[in-house]
Structures are given as C-alpha cells and as structure tokens.
Amino acid sequence: MKRYKKLLILLGVLLLVCGATVLVSRVEEKKENIRTAGETILAVDPETVDSLSWEFGETALSFHKEADGSWVYDADAAFPVDDEKIAGMLETFRAFTATFVIEDVQDYGQYGLTEPQCTVTFTAGEDRYTVKLGDYSKMDSQRYASLDDGRAYLMKEDPLETFQAELPEVVKNDEIPQFGKPRKVSVSGVDSYEFTRFEEENGKSYCAEDIYFTSDGRALDTGRVEKYLSTLETLELGEYVTYNVTEEALKDYGLDAPELTLAVDYDRESGEAATFTLALSRDPAEDDSSETFTAYLRIGESQLVYKLEKSDYKALMAASYDDLRHQELLSAGFGYITQMDMVLDGERYFITSEGEGDGKTWYFGEQEIDISELRSAMANLTAEDFTEEAPTQKQEAALTVHLANETFPEVELGLYRYDGDNCIATLDGQPLCFIGRVYVVDLQEAINRIVMGSVNVEAE
C-alpha cells in the first residue's frame, strides 16, 4: 500500500511539472512569438520627408526642410547643412528591412528599447514616424529596433551606424575643385609673385618641359608645380572650428593677415572661368617654441574656418618661388645635350655625342665612353639653399653644356669652394645656390674616371 501511495505522489508531482512546463511554454510563446521576416517594415521616400531629428547619448539634433528643398538646422539657421548628407541618412528608411519580427512584445527592456540608444523621429506630410534603436544582438549580429507598434525587430542593416552622427558630420564643407590646366596662380605672404601656364613650346628656358613661368619670365619646375596643385586638390578639410566667422574673429585665427594667400584661375568643365582662393595661418598665439601646433584655413569668403594638420600646413606653405623652381643645377634632360666642355684643375676636356635622345652614343675624343657615372653625379647637383652671394674662393669645376635648343644653345655651370661642407654654384655667371661639397667631389671623380679611363685605353 505504501508503494502505491508513493507512486501516486510521484505521479502527481510529474503532472504538476508537466503542467507548469506547458504553462511556461504558452507564456513564452505569447511573450516572444518570433518569426522570420525579411520584409520591409517601413518605406518612406526621402524626398517626402520635411523634418528629421535624432537623439543619441548627449546629442540631440533636429532639422527641417525649407520650401526650396534645402535643410535647416533648427538650433541655428546659420549652420551650413549638407543636403546630400541628410538625404543619405533618410535613405535608411526608403526600404527599412527586418530579418526577424518579435510579435506582442511585453518587455521592451530586454531588447534595450525602454531606454533606447538612439531615437529617430521624422515627418512626411501629416505622417510622423518614431524609430527606436536598442541593443545589439551579438548572437544575431543585428540591432533591435521598434516603431512603437507593439513589435520589436532585428534589422538587416544597423541604423545606428548612420544616426550616431554629431553636428560636424552633417556640415556642408567647402569644395576644392579640380583645376585641370590652371591659367594663372597668384601667391602672396610667403612670397609675392604669380605664374602662368603656357601650352605651346615656351622658348623661355633651356628646359623643354618647362610650361610654368613667373610674370617676369623665370621658369618653374613643372613637376613641383603640379605636385603642389595636386596636394591642394586632394586636401581633406577635416574639422571646422567655426561655421559663422566674423571679420573681427578672423584675428583670433591669424586670418586677418594670412601667412599665405593663394588664388588659382582655372576653367570649370563647362568652360566658365573661375577663381579659387584660400588663406592660411598658424595660430597667432603660438610660435616655434610652442609645445602645440595649430593652424587654420579659410576658403574664399566662406564662413567656415578649418583646423589644419601640421603636415598639410607645411605642404601648402611650400609655395614660394624657391619652393617651386628647379632644384637641380642643370634642369635640361641629357637627351637634349649635344656636347659638354669640362674644366677640372685648369684643364679643359670635351665629350661629344652622336644620335638623339637618351639613346645617344658618347665620345671622349674618338673613344666611346660610358657616361652613366657622370650623369648620376650631375643629377645629384641639387640646391640645398638658394643664394645671391657671389663666390670668392677656388673654382672646383666648370661645365659648358651645349644643347639642341636654338634659343638657348648652351648653358654655363660653375662650382666654387665655399667651406668644408658646401660649394656655391653659378648659372651663366650668376650665383644660384649652395650644393653639398660631397656631390661636387663625386662630379670631379666622375670626370677624372672618363679622362683617365680613355688615356689608359689609348695607351693599351
């Protein structure tokens, strides 16, 4: 009898457990009826939206659209809103798609939707939409969202990546155009000069590749000019420090009297003539002894002032004539050289060439020679600093270079001792620059090897 009583008791417990399990199962089913969706739960044409706001953390931003289609920041109408960026954000809701739908939600808190990470509100005509973004499901790698419709959703794409934006992320930055073939560039501040581009054969210098010349006829290095303009075209404006600068406030940024002002005259794709200008300065409160470095840039008459990276500041400030002129002593390519007269230790030597371009054959007297070492030594004769100081010491070497150029048939190069580390180089008798003495020694050795090698060949 005791055994039967025990069995009855166990059976009763089992029935209670089963009943509880069924009850819990039904409650859970009611609580979380999850189904796979893959459906668009919201479809709003961005062009119909006339207001947008979002709250994320301590950020709360709101915007409205004017009759002309432009967007305005509600807190300050002076803020330059990038209409395309707002439109891009609203594209999120053109086809807002969920991968899972959770029906009849009883506890939004378990999805992070009671205190959402972000709330987006927008209106389209008389329709108002509120989208709450909750926790990120690590299991599903998707974001929970709600539309205040009794459901929760797991989203195909994470909207928080778009709507955790701060105000600077929707500013309409100034644009830097592609200049193509600029007609004229004017520089003031670090230097004061302007230069013009010539499309046709210039006839102004002995370097056939020169196409940029200052207003007084001085040649610039085409490669250096175009590298500078490319640096300008690809400049990332970055962080703005104000979007509504006043004339008085320009002093705070050193832009009332900029260190550099640049103006580029160019043609738009439409053929219309245009001028792009910029100004930049280092923070007037800083100097070279400062532990910090801050610089500012303004484009044209824009109300935006940007903070500039140190590397960008240095690159843009390198706009003087000395920065953009030829740095090499001889800028004419070897393919244009027909003969070189070389003076070393008071002795004059001649090398000549036959053929055209870089495939020429070179001779010392009647002996064919390899000039690769001489060519390399001459390429290393570059300016360490430009000077107008006339040489007063011994001449180390001199070259008269004959060119296949009717306007400039020859150019004279001189190298004079200055001190233990430097020589002064002259061009057509005029002082030009300082060159490291080690490179002048390399040139001397290259000339000596040509002379001595040819003598030894003849002796054999």
**Tens of pLDDT along 209-249?**
899 999 999 999 999 999 999 999 999 998 999 999 999 99
Determine the longest span between alpha carbons in the chain, in angstroms.
135
Dig out the tokens for 284 from the structure: 């007037």
Q: DSSP characters for 397-443?
A: EEEEEEES-SS--EEEEEEEE-SSSEEEEEETTEEEEEEEHHHHHHH
Tell me the pLDDT of the chain averaged across its residues. 90
Q: What is the predicted pLDDT for the residue at 109?
A: 95
Its pTM stands at: 0.83
For 239-278, how does the pLDDT look when each residue is reduced to its tens digit (9 = 90+)? 999 999 999 999 999 999 999 999 999 999 898 999 999 9
- 435: its two tokens: 């060159």
Q: Residue 58: left (phi > 0), alpha (psi -120 to 50), or beta? A: alpha
Average pLDDT over residues 402-422: 93
**Rounded distance, CA 26 to CA 33, Å?**
10
pLDDT in tens, 116-175: 999 999 999 999 999 999 999 888 789 999 999 999 999 989 999 999 999 999 999 999
Which amino acid appears at position 258 of this protein?
P
Distances in Å between the Cα of 291 and the Cα atoms of 123, 240, 294, 339, 397 are: 50, 22, 10, 54, 46
CA dihedral 338, 343, 347, 350 (to 10 degrees): -10
Angle at the Cα of 219 from the Cα atoms of 214 and 222, rounded to 5 degrees = 105
| C-alpha of 318 from chain center | 16
pLDDT of residue 21: 41
> What are the tens digits of pLDDT across the range 26-72?
334 444 566 666 789 999 999 999 999 999 999 999 999 999 999 99
Residue 216 one-letter amino acid: D
Dist CA 60 CA 167 (whole Å): 9
Q: What pLDDT sits at residue 33? A: 67
Q: CA nearest 49: which of 25, 31, 66?
A: 66
